[in-house]
Structure 1
Amino acid sequence: MSFMKLTTAQALIKFLNQQYMERDGKEQKLFKGIFTIFGHGNVLGMGQALEEDSGDLEVYQGRNEQGMAHAATAFAKQMHHGQLIACTTSVGPGSANMVTAAGTATANNIPLLLLTGDTFATRQPDPVLQQIEQPYNLGISTNDAFKAVSKYWDRINRPEQLMSAMINAMRVLTSQGDAGAVTIALPQDVQGEAYDFPDSFFKKRVYTINRKRPTDRALNEAIELIKSKKKPLIICGGGVRYSEAASTLREFSEAFHIPFAETQAGKSAIESSHPLNLGGIGVTGNAAANSIAKSADLVIGIGTRFTDFTTASKHLFQSEDIDFITINISEFHAGKLDATQVVADAKTALHALMEELKDAHYKSSYESEIQEAKASWAVELKRLCETNYGAADFKPEVAGHLDEELAEYEEIFGSSLTQTAVIGQINKSIDDDAIVVGSSGSLPGDLQRMWMSKTPNTYHMEYGYSCMGYEVSGALGAKMAAPDQEVYAFVGDGSYLMLHSELITSIQEQKKINVLLFDNAGFGCINNLQMGNGIRSFGTEFRMRDLKTNQLTGSIMHIDYAQSAAGYGVKTYTARTMEQLLAALEDAKKQAVSTLIDIKVLPKTMTDGYGAWWHVGVAEVSKNDSIQSAFAEKEEQLKKARQY
């Protein structure tokens, strides 16, 4: 056996360069590159290794640790897990900044490798700069916070530990059913420590995405259950996209006349115009999908986690005869809702089911219900796209604000744009193959309901964690995965203020993204939630402090986001009218640099409801009659929901 004397960091970089992914006969390097923000905890170890010999890894300079990790997550998501970007940071706040991103990746089952600097393994200089000292355990550092949000976590206290740690890390990063964040904590002294690593550690390793077949027993149970049902409904989850099973799902749905609805992660697997595509389902779903769901006698969940938004807190499916089938590569997710479980690759499982059901001449019993539901929703969608504040019969989509309060917004913003009309216009104006990215606030609900996907894999929503601040960073990651397509980040003003640092990175990398900033002067989605449950507007609008009452009830703040972004070198626009928006959208297409359109929209003009209930914590005791009523309504709806 031969050996190679390398530092721990050098060995790690060499190892990453030798990892490959193979899917359906196509092989490529697993790691495209590595995002870096250097500090004292990694610059002399990981930094030295990358500077001396990064191999084929492209090195990217992040601006915020959370932002660059979000970009890496979005890259992996857009690449259907087939290629990754790692992230390295310093010890202390640099590492802590990535905890949120780790949670985002893990909640969405997206592979993300985090290489975090750590305190000294020798403890000689303790407490080192940025070290948190815990008197009860000197071995704890900031990086222990990652344990709750990582699918695999390890600390390399000796160089030779790197080998077993990275082999296990790759096991998780290449898992089809249990991927998520992997955190490898690297004490800064160990990063620079040398060891004689065996050459075998650096051999080429190819990870194959194996299309796991369902067992005969699971297949037969699912077939018999489907054959006994008249009105099944498919829920298309993110697993359909990651399995690249969209064409198989289309064939399956058409063969047996079974409609399908989309989760946030599954949307755009198949174009929205397909006759059997009901669109978004659940709390942020539309009337077509939710109405069909309430009468379905079988739900076939394909690659979905069945979150509370998808099932409307287990309240959506109201048929007394309802049963569930899960097709999922993850045993954990397949086991939800007491379902008949088919633990298998989505594409393979659908093919197997299709063969048997064709032999049985199965067809659903739907007649005109699907077409009628879609037609009814098309009328409502047209109304949403044409909402006009100046119309005599205008009413806010969401109740809560008085007319004089809306007038206050109009006066300060100089705008009468409604959020739904803006989304409708953007949908018509941008390229059919443009990728739209979002994550939090009211926009994901509006987009899941309203957005008409015309090209597969162009709807990129992070909603497993609904992480504010993902949007701009996610757009950069999506652009890195699809450099020939335009990418648009849909982001509210509240989320934009939380994190938009990688907008600068997009300029540095010459990866043009387009930021569509919906400014309604506040956390509008949560303002809806509180006011819809009996609470007055409190701490969710961006208002000045009233110095007489010492409350946040003063005038609405006006922020010029376009002027701010222009200072970064971004091409910017401000839209207060539909004409200005159209002109900005058209001009943005001509730009080579990243763009931002500051769109001033009226509050309470986003979509609302459509037959789904969401279980949220409402105060059981209150002096406020409206809160008491909200609690009583919650208790009544809970009686209609499944308990587990």
Structure 2
Amino acid sequence: MSTTRRMTVGQALVEFLANQWTVDGNIRERTIPGIFGIFGHGNVAGVGQAIKQLHEDQPGLLPYHQARNEQAMVHEAVGFARMRRRRATFAAAASVGPGAANMLTGAALATTNRLPALLLPSDTFSTRTTDPVLQQIEMPHDTSLQVTDAFRPLSRFFDRVERPEQLFSIALQAMRVLTDPAETGAVTIALPEDVQAEAFDVPVAFLQPREWHLRRPLPEHGPLARAVAAIRSAKRPFIVAGGGVLYSGAESALRDLVDATGIPVGTSQAGGGSMPWDHPQYLGGVGATGTTAANRTAAEADVVIGIGTRYSDFTTASRTAFQNPDVTFVNINVAAFDAYKHGTQLPVIADAREALVALQESLVSFTVDAPYADAIAERKQAWDRVVDAAFEPSGLALPGQTEIIGAVQSATDPTDVVIQAAGSLPGDLHKLWRVRDPLGYHVEYAFSCMGYEIAGGLGVKRAAPERDAIVMVGDGSYLMLHTELVTAVAEGLKIVVVLIQNNGFASIGHLSETVGSERYGTKYRFRDDTGSFENGEPLPVDLAANARSYGVNVIEIEPTANAIDDLRAAVRSAKASDRTTLIHINADPLRYAPDGEGWWDVPVAETSTLASTQRARAEYEQQVTAQRPLLG
């Protein structure tokens, strides 16, 4: 029997990908269960031909899916990967030039979120015999530079297959990073168009099933003992649960620890779902978009236990969240880069689940004292009442966003997944959404990419077809990237989209007010004779008609006193349907969510002729005094 097969680089790569498996304990699943592709002259004869051939020779081994935008392909892969707890992701193939460049935003999103995505952008000819080819970028100072080089700073792994024989080592290294819990993100293999179609002898061993076992490193004895001593000495300990809790499947271990110790928990955006909303020790989101319950507790905490969090500026409220002058940080993270943040002397570099199990074993008999426990309970109850009031329908024809969130929440099931990414919705959801399932809260907020929502929702649905994917999106983000609704229709992937029409950029409009810029440039209105968009009539854009034109089922909520009741009924109807449904509702962007006492550092002009900016600067100078270096 021959030990090699004559194949093109494209054929060898796609068959290799189809045979990779991730193993996480007793869970074994395909690392790359499918591939997205938009084809052009750079890949139609290489990877495109290979996908077609594999489909004919071994149907179903590596399913192919269409997309309408290369950026959206990566968003889908990321949405899928988060729902699969980083055990699996999709590959995304693009053509030369603009096709490749369109994936750059997706690459940045994947890497920022520490979520795996395999990118296969095409490159121009390796031989350069026909330079410059169509869509080739030319840099006179360095003729080796191509569009794909822009992926280098955005990827956790990048390489270019200049010769067929390089594929073996490159593909294996790519898989190593895709399945590395600390180093994962965008993995980019650039494929010159001529090399993709070039034939060579491929060892059969390269094409055989291969397993990649996820590392779950145990905490070392010394760092664990020091962390335990710090926690035992704490009077007001506080846990910040990040995405790492979910990626390691540590939510049960976290609950066991807080049940035993009474330590309260606040979550980052990525950590939403780490605790159910009604758990006695769960105080909600923490930081700039957090709750008063979590933020007041964070402010007085003497030991902050960060678990799987990268401590973004939103989580730390731009370093104003933790106000105790003697605060100490115990940082548990599989990535040393994050474990050492805030100058901590107590890093625990370990898997979140393994570290939590070890902590509980070492914290036997430790509990928070009664006054602290009472304060936690009182703060939680007070915030729950705030949320109840925010969800109460106002009876106005244009409801506020909080009422809309409440209506959607009441019409969904515990295992439904809410998907969001940008605008004012992430902040409102972080404060208000009552998460009932570990994977029920899917807010991409590391990159907060406008346009992620619908594509990410499709990724969620592919990963968990038994769940309803509830995409909530404002009109600004919808207009950025709505074309994947066509993909939903084409593949019969049912998602529910709640489109909130604000006639502008609601989030940045509010932020613009706080920095004294008076919502300038954030309204969707006709441009007047002075060149301003501030005073014209709202644009007559019909986004419901847009969605309907794609073949999507559309429910329009009329602006009446019954709008919230109608929305609730529409969500239930959409959930009962087997088709993708878009629900369109108009909202008042000037009705805000309750204040959670968080702050975000957005510098204000130091000098200005505008009175609004002058007032904002004075407020900023007062707020910034609360920032601390956090060298705990």
Does the TM-score normalized on the shorter chain lie above 0.5? yes
Offset at residue 563 of structure 1 (A): 1.5
State the distance in 1 between where 2:89 and 2:565 align: 40
* 1:104 partner SS: helix
| Structure 2 counterpart of 1:425 | 407
**1:534 aligned onto 2:516:** yes
Partner in structure 2 of residue 346 of structure 1: 352
Matches within 5 A, 1:79-94: 79-94=84-99
CA displacement at 1:302 relative to structure 2: 0.5
1:167-246 aligned within 5 A: 167-246=172-251
TM-fit CA distance, 1:18: 1.9
- Per-residue deviation, 1:14: 1.6
Residue 456 of structure 1, CA deviation:
2.4
1:284 to 272, 279, 289: 289
Tell me, in whole angstroms, the C-alpha distance in 2 between the residues paired with 1:535 and 1:89: 40
Tell me, yes or no, if structure 1 residue 249 matches structure 2 residue 235. Answer: no
Deviation at 1:387, TM superposition (A): 5.3
Structure 1, unaligned runs of 5 or more: 391-414
SS in structure 1 opposite 2:44? coil
Secondary structure at the counterpart of residue 35 of structure 1: strand
1:454 positional shift? 1.7
CA contact (8 A) 1:68 1:502 kept: no
Say whether 1:599 aligns with 2:605.
Answer: no
Please give the per-residue CA displacement for 1:131-186, whole angstroms capped at 9, x wherever unaligned. 11111111111111111211111111111111111111111101111110011110
Equivalent residues of 1:389, 1:418 under 8 A apart: no
Cα deviation 1:247-285 (Å, max 9, x = unaligned): 000000111110111111111122111111111111111
- 2:531 & 2:410 partners in 1: Cα distance? 46
Equivalent pair of 1:573/1:584 in contact (CA under 8 Å): yes
Conserved in 2, the CA contact under 8 Å of 1:159 and 1:195?
Answer: yes
Deviation readout 1:593-632 (Å, 9 max, x if unpaired): 1000011001122325321111112111211233233223
Q: Does 1:46 align with 2:32?
A: no
Offset from partner CA, 1:277-332 (integer Å, 9 cap, x none): 11111111111111111111111010011000000011111111211111100011
Structure 1 segments, 4+ long, off by >6 Å, are none
Task: Count the aligned residue pairs.
Answer: 618
Matches within 5 A, 1:260-299: 260-299=265-304
Q: Which position in structure 1 is the counterpart of 2:543?
A: 561
| CA–CA separation in structure 2 for the residues paired with 1:210 and 1:129 | 44
Q: C-alpha distance in 2, partners of 1:530/1:369?
A: 36
Q: Letter of the aligned partner of 2:91 in structure 1? A: A
Contact 1:326 1:342 in 2 (8 A): yes
1:482 partnered with 2:464: yes
**Where do residues 494-643 of structure 1 align in structure 2 (5 Å cutoff)?**
494-547=476-529, 551-575=533-557, 576=559, 577-607=563-593, 609-643=595-629
Determine if contact 1:471/1:490 at 8 Å carries over to the other structure.
Answer: yes
- Residue 549 of structure 1 deviates from its aligned partner by 5.6
**AA matched with 1:363:** T
* 1:633 Cα offset (Å): 2.9
Q: Is the 8 A contact 1:571 1:596 kept in 2?
A: yes
Correspondences of 1:314-393 after superposition (within 5 Å): 314-339=319-344, 340-358=346-364, 361-365=365-369, 366-386=372-392, 388=394, 390=396
Q: Does 1:159 pair with 2:145?
A: no
Q: Which runs of 5+ in 2 are unaligned?
A: none
Task: Give how far 1:550 is off.
Answer: 5.1
Letter matched to residue 532 of structure 1: T
Report what 2:65 is aligned to.
Answer: 60
Q: CA RMSD, aligned part only?
A: 1.4
In the alignment, the residues of structure 1 paired with residue 570 and residue 40 of structure 2 have an alpha-carbon distance, to the nearest angstrom, of: 40
- Spell out, residue by residue over 1:315-372, the C-alpha distance to the aligned partner (whole angstroms, 9 max, x if none): 11111121111110001111111221000001111111111111xx211222311110
2:574 and 2:535 map into 1 onto residues whose CA distance is: 37
Which deviates more, 483-492 or 553-562?
Answer: 553-562
State the shift of 1:580 in Å: 2.4
The CA deviation at 1:525 is 0.3
Q: 2-side partners of 1:336 and 1:244: how far apart? A: 23
Q: Which amino acid aligns with 2:86?
A: H
1:405-484 equivalences under 5 Å are: 415-484=397-466
1:551 Cα deviation from its structure 2 partner = 4.8
Contact 2:323-2:628 within 8 A present in 1 as well: no
Q: Shift in Å at residue 461 of structure 1?
A: 0.8
- 1:228 and 1:322 map into 2 onto residues whose CA distance is 12
- Between the aligned partners of 2:159 and 2:592, the Cα distance in structure 1 is 44
Residue identity in the other structure for 1:611: E
Identity of aligned residues (%): 44
Answer yes or no: is the 8 Å Cα contact 1:233–1:293 preserved in 2.
yes
CA shift for structure 1 position 433: 1.3
Q: TM-score when scaled to structure 2?
A: 0.96
